[in-house]
A and B are shown apart, each in its own frame.
Chain A
Amino acid sequence: MKEDTDIRKDFPILNQEINGKPLIYLDNAATTQKPKVVIDRLSDFLSKENANIHRGVHYLSMNATTLYDEARSCVANFINAENDDEIIFVRGATEAINLVARSFCNEKLEPDDEILITEMEHHANIVPWQLIAGEHGARVVPAPITDEGEMDLDQFESLLNERTKLLAFVHASNALGTINPAKKMVEIAHRKGIPVLIDGAQAVAHQEVNVQDLECDFYVFSSHKIFGPDGLGVLYGRKELLNKMTPYQGGGDMIETVSFDGTTFRPSPERFEAGTPNISGAIGLKAAIDYINDIGWETIHEKESLLMNHANESLGKIPSIKLIGTAENKVPVLSFTIDSAHPHDIATILDTKGIAVRAGHHCAQPLMKRLGLSATTRASLSFYNKVDEINQLTEALKEISALFES
């Protein structure tokens, strides 16, 4: 197993001071930091290998095409997709969801149809469905959660009905940390013949994902949340569904033949990748996945559960702190409130101590409303964090509590 100090050295950004204090980066649910292997890979590609793909006969173009295809293959292995063609590169998880809303749901939705989501969704898994539902007189229905932040599976099942045309839910909640029983939820939906999209943006950095085992129809995530570059996301879709879907955007690379009488389209993935894609991003994502595989899930789990247990215990001892989201199965996300201090004030004071956290509604306003909150402060961890960083967070929160209660 890699020693902690070696892991820290892999991430150059961690070795710096913010506001005169060593950086303590606890905003990993917003974006993860990049290991040097990813930074170097991007730099190497742009310095020595850059060219456009799929259209050149010259060496650099053919080589870039191979690298891009290898990246697709690497992602397919990473989530255990059956075929490389089932992996579509987009701008991010948000665009992947919009693509499914536009290209899959557009032809399916009739007036009074329903898309079932959950109360714990990120806006990215609410708004695209509202837009497409609105165009067809259909509606988006939220399945309720418990006060602890877990799915109420009985109510969930009863909401899936003959009008439900799609189930879309978050694998792990960005605001609460809850890991949903994804396989079970897919199974319940499939029993009723309802296709399923899983938003894996917060799950992929913390656990091995196997789309064939989950049996989901679509799975989406963003590269920047798993140590890769931003501006790149992944849509996984089952091949037979993808090749029946209408294109999302038109342009170069996605066509078979174009004439002014009409155009025919290539199958997936090119069908959905109009124009020059984010080539360096895909190559950077491959470097990130190689890095994760190199560290290994066992090490990641061990380090993250150690940190999470310590954080739960330490923050749990501060009487003024209320943890929001206490599901049994969680990714390392700690959302909390302090009665006397607003989350933005907490985050600003933590920032003066070099501690980076997120404060606000976490792009989940309906969830905040459900919980009767306007905002929370969120510390989200990664395997490169240290126990000592949790201790410093704890001390800082005690001080903040005392300051606002005085």
Chain B
Amino acid sequence: MEDLSDLYQEIILAHNKRPRNGEPLIPCTHQAEGFNPLCGDKLTVYLRKSDEEVNEIACNTEGCAISRASGSIMTTMIQGKTVSEIEKQIEETKTLLTGDEEPEIDLAQHGDMAALVGVRKFPARIKCATLAWHALESALRGEVEATTE
């Protein structure tokens, strides 16, 4: 399987099989759905949030390994961060996955998301990797739905 080392690495497969923070977080203060009508990926991001900080987060995903892993990794990076830190993280992730220039991987900055950078080679799958992050953005803004279309 050496061809796949770029995208379907162990880290992705592990998050796919056992997503972290994957159960619905009820009650929560903020919640938004993400839907990709093209491939049917569907997820919900739940937040327990004060004015300044996200105390708890969950992402429940029905979809492919890329969307499940991305959502799972996202929750591990966001927990306990301030809103402005999270907004910065969202921008960094978008640049990592969709920026025009080939990114330089910085594990301190990108964490496990670095494992998803291989998705850049598969344009049809980039939206799978960004869906959870779009939904997180919507949840922070108090919107209920994010869509990649």
User: Mask for B12-30, Cβ within 8 A of A = 1, else 0?
Assistant: 0100110000000000000
User: Does A341 count as interface, using CB distance less than 8 angstroms?
Assistant: yes
B1 touches A360 (CB 8 A): no
User: Does A345 count as interface, using CB distance less than 8 angstroms?
Assistant: yes
Residues of B within 8 A of A340 (CB): 17
Residues of A within 8 A of B8 (CB): 345, 349, 403
Residues of B within 8 A of A375 (CB): 39-40
User: Does A263 count as interface, using CB distance less than 8 angstroms?
Assistant: no
Q: Tally of A-B residue pairs with Cβ under 8 A? A: 45
Pick from A353, A360, A399, A404: contact of B13, CB under 8 Å: A404
User: Does B7 count as interface, using CB distance less than 8 angstroms?
Assistant: yes
By beta carbon, the residue of chain B nearest A402 is B1
A348 touches B122 (CB 8 A): yes
By beta carbon, the residue of chain A nearest B10 is A406
Q: How far is the CA of A374 from the CA of B40 in the complex (A)?
A: 7
- Total contacting residues, chain A, CB less than 8 A: 21
B3 touches A345 (CB 8 A): no
Shortest distance from the beta carbon of B4 to any chain A beta carbon, whole Å: 6
Shortest distance from the beta carbon of B7 to any chain A beta carbon, whole Å: 7
Shortest distance from the beta carbon of B5 to any chain A beta carbon, whole Å: 11
Shortest distance from the beta carbon of A188 to any chain B beta carbon, whole Å: 35
Within 8 A of A (CB), among B13-66: 13, 16-17, 38-40, 62-66
Within 8 A of B (CB), among A341-388: 341-345, 348-349, 351-353, 359-361, 374-375
Q: Which of A340, A342, A399, A404 has the most CB of B within 10 A?
A: A342
Q: How far is the CA of A286 from the CA of B122 in the complex (A)?
A: 37
By beta carbon, the residue of chain B nearest A351 is B122
Pick from B1, B17, B40, B64: contact of A345, CB under 8 Å: B64
User: Mask for B58-85, Cβ within 8 A of A = 1, else 0?
Assistant: 0000111110000000000000000000
Shortest distance from the beta carbon of B37 to any chain A beta carbon, whole Å: 10
User: Does B136 count as interface, using CB distance less than 8 angstroms?
Assistant: no
- Total contacting residues, chain B, CB less than 8 A: 20
Within 8 A of A (CB), among B122-149: 122, 124-125, 128
Question: Assuming the A-B contacts A344-B128, A345-B8, A345-B66, are A352 and B39 also in contact, with contact meaning beta carbons closer than 8 angstroms in the complex?
Answer: no
Shortest distance from the beta carbon of A313 to any chain B beta carbon, whole Å: 25
Q: How far is the CA of A226 from the CA of B122 in the complex (A)?
A: 29
Q: How far is the CA of A185 from the CA of B107 in the complex (A)?
A: 62
Q: How far is the CA of A105 from the CA of B1 in the complex (A)?
A: 54
Q: How far is the CA of A344 from the CA of B1 in the complex (A)?
A: 17
Q: How far is the CA of A50 from the CA of B63 in the complex (A)?
A: 49
Q: How far is the CA of A343 from the CA of B124 in the complex (A)?
A: 13
Q: How far is the CA of A399 from the CA of B8 in the complex (A)?
A: 12
Shortest distance from the beta carbon of B86 to any chain A beta carbon, whole Å: 28
Q: How far is the CA of A330 from the CA of B64 in the complex (A)?
A: 29
B40 touches A399 (CB 8 A): no
Shortest distance from the beta carbon of A219 to any chain B beta carbon, whole Å: 31
Q: How far is the CA of A352 from the CA of B5 in the complex (A)?
A: 11
Q: Can you report 29 A-B residue pairs in the complex whose CB atoms are below 8 A from each other?
A: A340-B17, A341-B65, A342-B63, A342-B64, A343-B64, A344-B39, A344-B125, A345-B8, A345-B64, A345-B65, A345-B66, A348-B122, A348-B124, A349-B4, A349-B8, A352-B4, A359-B39, A360-B38, A360-B39, A360-B40, A361-B40, A374-B62, A399-B1, A403-B1, A403-B8, A404-B16, A404-B17, A404-B65, A406-B13
Give 11 A-B pairs besides A348-B124, A351-B122, A360-B38 with Cβ atoms closer than 8 angstroms.
A340-B17, A342-B63, A345-B65, A348-B125, A352-B3, A352-B4, A360-B40, A404-B13, A404-B16, A404-B17, A406-B13
Q: Which residues of B contact A (CB under 8 A)?
A: 1, 3-4, 7-8, 13, 16-17, 38-40, 62-66, 122, 124-125, 128
